[in-house]
Chains A and B, each alone.
Chain A
Amino acid sequence: MLGPGLLKGMAVTLKQFVESYTKKGSIFTIQYPEERREMPEAFRNFPILVYDEDPENPRCVSCDICAKECPPRCITIVRDRDPNGAGLKKPKVFDIDVSVCMSCGICEEVCPFDAIFMDKDFELSAYDRMESLNFHKEKLLRPNSYFHKIRPTDAARIDANLKAKQEKQAPTPPSGTTT
């Protein structure tokens, strides 16, 4: 049983042991709170809602497509209405339940208005599981500049698309609160 195979195996572990002191980069642990990996641009974790200038008028027109397509159905949208009861093209309630969301990114893919995008923030833990994990509109809304910061390539592409779309519909001013 004291065979060559056993000694070979022991040589491997001893080599790793020595290299962990001598060779840089052989330890693959990342000391998380102090050290952080650089996330690739594609990394997705949890959706945010993007607005252009005014947080009151996000890109979202509360069309409900993302809520319907969301595989675990974690999005709740209620359309905003003006005092007369006519529907406005913006959400009154936009809730996403963090504890249900499975970070698939389908909401981003299906959104026809480029309003919802996946954020990279993954430190979302909270002390209670109901209210602080149900993110409301206020918490989800982020300016376009933030989106540019986290995903520059995608944001540039989306902006170009939006601009092209606007130029097509040329004269009409950008619609936000049209009734």
Chain B
Amino acid sequence: MEKAASALETQMLQVNIGPQHPSTHGVFRMNVTLDGETVVRLKPVMGYLHRNHEKIAEGASYLASMPFTDRLDYICSMTNNLGYAIAVEKLAGIEVPERAEYIRVIMAELTRLVNHTLLVGFLLNDLGAFFTPTLYAFREREKILDLFEAASGARMMCNYMRFGGVKNDFPTGFMEKLKEVIANYPRFLDEFERLLTENEILMGRCQNVGILPRKLAVNASVTGPMLRASGVDYDIRKVDGYSIYPRFKFRVPLGTVGDVYDRYYVRILEMRESVKILEQAVKEMPEGEVLSAKAKTGAKSPRTFRPPKGDAYGRIESPKGELGFYLVSDGTPNPYRYHVRPPSFVNLTILEDMCLGLKVADAIIILGSIDIVLGEVDR
């Protein structure tokens, strides 16, 4: 035990927060050294949920990896599907029909709403609220999950995207429900904000806590809302313009301080932008097929789906940050190498830098504001 810097004869307190702890968002462990309540060292320990995702994918056909990607970040299975599909399409050079692109964008933005709403709810739980914001978040998520279920057949493990489109078209009556959800969402966000944004306790707890300087954020290759909260204008939807995002008008909100409050509020603003994208997408959505004929045969018999030799890196702006899939093909039905760049894992690496010198309660909310899902961190 080290001595703490104090006139009194005191000792540091070493505490393991996790792997079983109410607010580590899964099986994550923080090995924290405390001087009283102040964090002097914090070592993140991960890997409890490692399940060999990448190696399994190398032994399975391209299609068979699709349901496994659902389980990376189990809150945003649609965007995981999308990222993987985009990577494989790049590798095999498959075109995606117009309508399928719109469906993909709609699903991806709905996922963003789900993820950000839930994150804010859980962040408030970390702050000590007794589940009220979380359950309001769950209430809204339920409506979106109903949509996912109607379209893909599952609420969370959607397995909906295919190489060259999506599995099936929207069922009848889907668009009406979708429009209703989109129309009601801003009203919910207003209510949510009334409950939270100006709450003095929340402001006191979050402002100027866990500041992530712009430079450090860039150097640590942090991505997603976390990076934007630090004031860096980097959104892959804008930078890469993948899928059909360049067609939509939306803005990228940027934070100024880079603290927990900015990370919270940037996400709220991002949700409002997502609603705008959804409104446009629904309005402009064309008719047509959702899976090109060539891709359909590929999906029907995965053993005949053999991308040419080569490699490809497909990336998207998942709700948590840059989600990338790196694939190497050797011309066989299985990928030779399959690698995931999980945003929460990369964003988690700077946890200690943000927590040092703050109270243990701050460390918890900083972890909450990073937005990790252990399924993705540990793979």
Contact = CB atoms under 8 A, between A and B. Distances in A.
Interface of A: 1, 3-6, 8-9, 11-13, 16, 28, 39-44, 65, 68-71, 102-106, 109-110, 112, 118, 153
B195 A4 contact: no
Interface of B: 60-61, 63-68, 70, 132, 136, 139, 142, 146, 149-154, 157, 159, 167-168, 171, 191, 194-203, 299-303
Between A4, A13, A42, A69, the greatest number of chain B beta carbons within 10 A of the residue's beta carbon is seen for A42
Given A8-B199, A68-B303, A153-B171, 11 more contacts: A1-B200, A5-B203, A9-B195, A13-B195, A69-B302, A70-B64, A71-B60, A71-B67, A106-B66, A109-B300, A110-B300
Per DSSP, are chain B's interface residues mostly helix, strand or loop, or mixed? helix
Between B132, B159, B196, the greatest number of chain A beta carbons within 10 A of the residue's beta carbon is seen for B159
A68 B154 CA distance: 23
Contacts of A104: 66-67, 70, 157, 159
A153 B171 CA distance: 10
A41 B171 contact: yes
Contacts of B139: 28
Given A6-B201, A28-B139, A43-B149, A105 B159 contact: yes
Given A71-B60, A71-B67, A6 B151 contact: no
A106 to B, nearest CB: 7
Given A42-B168, A71-B67, A109-B300, A9 B152 contact: no
Contact of B199 (A5, A16, A68, A153): A5
A106 B153 contact: no
Contacts, number: 89
Nearest to A43: B153
A8 B194 contact: yes
29 contacts: A1-B201, A3-B200, A5-B198, A5-B200, A8-B194, A8-B198, A9-B195, A9-B196, A9-B199, A12-B195, A28-B139, A39-B149, A40-B153, A41-B171, A43-B149, A43-B153, A44-B153, A44-B154, A69-B64, A69-B302, A71-B60, A71-B65, A102-B157, A103-B154, A104-B67, A105-B153, A106-B63, A106-B66, A112-B300
A102 to B, nearest CB: 6
Nearest to B67: A104
A65 B304 CA distance: 12
A110 B194 contact: no
Given A9-B196, A12-B195, A106-B64, A112 B153 contact: no
Contacts of A112: 300-301
Given A13-B132, A106-B63, A40 B200 contact: no
The 3 closest A-B pairs by CB, nearest first: A5-B198, A104-B67, A40-B150
Contact of B67 (A12, A41, A102): A102
Contacts of A106: 63-64, 66-67, 159
Contacts of A39: 149
Between A12, A13, A40, the greatest number of chain B beta carbons within 10 A of the residue's beta carbon is seen for A40
A1 B201 CA distance: 8
A142 B300 CA distance: 23
Contacts of B167: 109
Between B139, B199, B203, the greatest number of chain A beta carbons within 10 A of the residue's beta carbon is seen for B199
A9 B191 CA distance: 9
